[in-house]
A and B are shown apart, each in its own frame.
Chain A
Amino acid sequence: QVQLVQSGAEVKQPGASVKVSCKTSGYTFTSHYMHWVRQAPGHGLEWMGLINPRSGSTRESEKFQGRLSMTRDTSTRTVYMELFSLGSEDTAMYYCARSYGESYYGAFDVWGQGTMVTVSS
């Protein structure tokens, strides 16, 4: 079955960066866009950006431009999200989520289990 398995929880100091992985299985890796969504404790969902696993091209929310990098490794079927210059406001659960179908515009039909990132001195 389709699975997205994310890396484990992270604790980072302010100003550091964090890299979260999302390993996929059970489907054609290059056929579905992958998104990153975060959720601060007690808050709603926030879209961060997407990556096309086929080409490696990305699109980021303006809020994260210059601070967010998304990459993929087709040999391991894994996508990565790296966020730089962390502040306390970046403390959140980070999810990868697969786009339904092969269209750029799709709902998110499969989600990773989430990776908790805590930013604290």
Chain B
Amino acid sequence: EIVLTQSPGSLSLSPGERATLSCRARQTLTSNYLAWYQQKPGQAPRLLIYDASSRATGIPDRFSGSGSGTDFTLTISRLEPEDFAVYYCQQYNNSPWTFGQGTKVEIK
């Protein structure tokens, strides 16, 4: 199975700052089938980015995804109060689908 490693494990930032989250795959995602999700306490995950760089419906343009192959990045250009949450990457390039362990974005 494809192991995804997210870094950092947690990120302490202030509203208005830029957040850069990393996701590294142990094998190449040949079709760049990588997604990013946001999860807040007590809620189901929400799809933010699919196919590495496409924003899901209704997702603000301060969220952007980039990368290819084994290295992927989620960038939040200016953090809003509602953006403090846990973020997961997921690959759906190969079965079994796998998730990273998550990055928690906390308020500084």
Contacts and interface: CB of A to CB of B under 8 A. Distances in A.
Contacts of A95: 44-45
A110 B40 CA distance: 15
Contacts of B88: 44-45
Given A45-B45, A107-B35, A114-B44, A100 B99 contact: no
B51 A46 contact: no
Which of B47, B51, B100 has the most chain A CB atoms inside 10 A of its CB? B47
Interface residues of A, number: 21
Instruction: Please tell me the size bucket of the interface on B.
Output: 20 to 34
Contacts of A97: 45
Given A35-B97, A44-B88, A61-B96, A109 B102 contact: no
B90 A107 contact: yes
Given A105-B31, A107-B92, A109-B50, A46 B99 contact: yes
The dominant DSSP class at the B interface is loop
Interface centre among B50, B96, B101, by most chain A C-beta atoms within 10 angstroms, is B96
B33 A109 contact: no
B85 interface: no
From B88, B90, B95, residue with most partner A Cβ within 10 Å: B95
Interface centre among A44, A45, A47, A109 (most CB of B within 10 A): A45
B74 to A, nearest CB: 13
A2 to B, nearest CB: 10
A15 interface: no
B68 to A, nearest CB: 16
B98 interface: yes
Given A44-B101, A45-B45, A50-B97, 14 more contacts: A44-B99, A44-B102, A45-B102, A46-B99, A47-B98, A100-B56, A107-B35, A107-B56, A108-B35, A108-B45, A111-B45, A111-B46, A113-B44, A114-B44
Interface of A: 35, 44-47, 50, 59, 61-62, 95, 97, 100, 105-109, 111-114
